Amino acid sequence: MFVNHIDECRGQLSPEHGEVIKATLPLVGANIENITKLFYKTMFEKHPELIRNVFNRGNQKQGAQQKALAASVATFASMLVNKDAPLPDHLLSRIGHKHVSLGVTEDQYQIVHDNLFYAIVQVLGADVVTKDVAEAWDSVYWIMARLLINFEKDLYKGAKVEPGKVFRQTTVLEREALTSDVVRFTIESKDGSKPLPAHLPGQYISVRAKLPDGAGQLRQYSLVDSGEKPGRLSFAVKALEASESAPAGEVSNWLVDNAKVGTDLEVSVPFGDLVLNTESNAPVVLISAGIGATPMIGMLSRLSSVASERHVVIVHADTNSGTDAFATHREHLASALKNYELHVFYKEGASGKNVTIGHLDVSKFAFPNDAEFYLCGSTTFLQEAREGLKANNVKPSSVHFELFMPNDWLLDE
């Protein structure tokens, strides 16, 4: 989708600016985490509404969002000055879909620009960030920004909404506890004349939680229904406990503790680029771990609802049957398919039909030829799964994945 713009993007960077970027990229790269930390600190001081109502406070505490910005800017700049580097389609598409799901608009790019360049000068020093250096990096920023702005305008248009106007008022119709810490919610529009839209299998919505301190924090949750028709949407939430490396999930815990049947929720229309190709007849392989099953269940729901004749291979890894939130539903959906394989791997428990106790190693699978692979899970899981598929001679272009973190493109590093 972006690859057609690669020459256009490089053509927008003058040869002189290109040489400056080549010369300063190592210095910027070495300091970019300090730059982005100061950038966010400054921006949130000037625009506190952004950290309250747009940015993920949990990711900010972990530094995950800073790493994401660092990766995107450095990767894009490297692409502009390296003719052998591919345009980072995956990175740009993921950013664009995330932006529109949050209601980001064109004017907010100026806010980011002003605070980012303030931070660059403060960290590197005015003697380093000369006029030529500032102009070169300013050019890189706006080339990337314009590419994203145009892409996001197209996403808004495709969703039939005005830029930024993505949120809908909904009511919880059903609440079902799938495990001790995973709950499935089914919602519908409060305005019966404006039903929630259909969606592509694998997409997500943003859900806004009104927290006790008044913040309206947003989080994305994959849709687990088939998405064929407008009306109801279903998504699953796993309550996240605090760990040594991460705080407790503010929104997930609020939803699990407070959202009941009849509760009003503000949600976005669906977005997301990890979607099942419904036009293809090629075999499908769905690989997931833990709560990463949610987008795979959305895809499986669509395949099941149309009684697909495609060869479908479903592979899931979990701790045990008690933590596998979609165990029963997965089997039910698969049973409607004409040609499927189901493989579940648990770390503990008893083996049984379709269930193996042990470690999932996709390098040992005999997958159908010319299959399309869809993956979702933790960083460690995805890294191992992708290496296993590579060892299994699966073409990287056939592998599509999503990580529930803002910097999943770093898996390509």
Copy the structure tokens of residue 4: 């057609």
- Residue 171 and residue 152 share a domain: no
Give the count of beta carbons closer than 10 Å to the beta carbon of residue 370: 11
CATH number of the domain at 324, please: 3.40.50.80
Give CA separation, 386 vs 203, 317, 371, 397, in Å. 21, 15, 14, 11
Please report, in tens digits, the pLDDT of each residue of the chain (413 residues total): 676 777 888 999 999 999 999 999 999 988 988 898 899 999 999 999 998 888 887 777 666 566 677 678 888 999 999 988 877 788 889 899 999 999 999 999 999 999 999 999 999 999 999 999 999 999 999 999 999 999 999 999 999 999 999 999 999 999 999 999 999 999 999 998 999 999 999 999 999 999 998 989 999 999 999 999 999 999 999 998 877 767 778 999 999 999 999 999 999 999 999 999 999 999 999 999 999 999 999 999 999 999 999 999 999 999 999 999 999 999 999 999 999 999 999 999 999 999 999 999 999 999 999 999 999 998 889 999 999 999 999 999 999 987 655 454 444 54
- Residue 231 and residue 144 share a domain: no
- Residue 356 and residue 239 share a domain: no
Domain assignment present for 11? yes
Q: Structural domain tally of the chain? A: 3
Q: How many angstroms separate the CA atoms of 275 and 81, rounded?
A: 31
- Residue 139 and residue 42 share a domain: yes
- Residue 176 and residue 150 share a domain: no
Active site members: 109, 152
- Residue 9 and residue 135 share a domain: yes
Domain assignment present for 19? yes
Give the count of beta carbons closer than 10 Å to the beta carbon of residue 339: 12
Instruction: Supply the pTM of this predicted model.
Output: 0.93
Question: Which H helix or E strand runs over 40?
Answer: helix 15-46
Domain end marker among 217, 243, 268: 268
- Residue 319 and residue 257 share a domain: no
Q: How many angstroms separate the CA atoms of 177 and 355, rounded?
A: 23
Range of 218's domain?
Answer: 167-268
- Residue 193 and residue 152 share a domain: no
